[in-house]
């Protein structure tokens, strides 16, 4: 079959239009693909922009958890069965403690003296297990202690009345933390104590 020049020209023009249209659609689709973020990139972007607010507690609210709210050397508790004396300036030398970088020691003297009982029995009393908390709620356990009266406190959990017990308990805390709440609870005394501890 012979094609006239006019028909050949029409066929070529139509072919060009089809190819051109297909190319335009394909290139347009690629542009949209480039501009649509993937699920993975969205997750990554969300992760980068996400911020986490640290938990902050009020020292006053922590103190309210105790039925007895006090501080080291509180004169109002001078005759109480349990109390906390003034903080010691340094840990007992016999412990040979060395603070980690960025940390320091707080030494708390716990006094227990129950003169109302003379039966020779004992009460469960664990001052070495009392903990500190800072304003973020982070808890600090004791690192060591010294028992000043072995007649009064034995086996790390027995208090014998009517003797006077003094246990100097050492905590290690970050230098940049200035205020703590100590929680003290025991079978040896009736009420939970919260002790506000402030250091320079």
Residue 13 has a pLDDT of: 46
pLDDT band per the 50, 70, 90 thresholds, residue 121 = confident
Q: What digits encode the pLDDT tens for the residues 131-140?
A: 999 999 999 9
Two tokens, residue 101:
């970088």
Residue 28 pLDDT exceeds 70: no
Angle at 103 between CA 101 and CA 106, to 5 degrees: 150
Cis peptide preceding 36, ω within 30 of 0: no
Q: What digits encode the pLDDT tens for the residues 70-111?
A: 999 999 999 999 999 999 999 999 999 999 999 999 999 999
| Whole-prediction pTM | 0.71
Measured in whole angstroms, the distance separating CA 167 from the mean position of its chain's CA atoms is 26
Give the contacts of 169 (CB within 8 A, at least 6 positions apart).
107, 108, 109, 110, 127, 128, 130, 142, 144, 145
Residue 14 has a pLDDT of: 44
């Amino acid at each position: 079959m012979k094609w006239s020049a006019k028909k050949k020209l029409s066929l070529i023009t139509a072919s060009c239009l089809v190819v051109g249209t297909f190319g335009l659609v394909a290139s347009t689709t690629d542009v949209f693909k480039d501009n649509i973020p993937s699920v993975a990139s969205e997750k990554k972007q969300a992760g980068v922009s996400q911020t986490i607010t640290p938990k902050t507690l009020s020292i006053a609210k922590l103190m309210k958890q105790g039925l007895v709210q006090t501080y080291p050397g509180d004169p109002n508790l001078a005759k109480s069965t349990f109390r906390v004396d003034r903080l010691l300036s340094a840990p007992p030398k016999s412990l040979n403690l060395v603070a980690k970088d960025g940390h320091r020691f707080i030494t708390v003297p716990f006094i227990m003296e129950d003169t109302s009982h003379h039966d020779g029995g004992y009460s469960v009393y664990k001052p070495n297990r009392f903990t500190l908390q800072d304003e973020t709620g982070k808890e600090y356990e004791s690192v060591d202690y010294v028992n000043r009266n072995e007649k009064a406190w034995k086996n790390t959990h027995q208090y014998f009345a009517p003797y006077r017990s003094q246990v100097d308990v050492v905590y290690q805390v970050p230098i940049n933390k200035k205020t703590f709440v100590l929680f003290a609870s025991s079978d040896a005394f009736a009420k939970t104590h919260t002790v506000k501890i402030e250091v320079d």
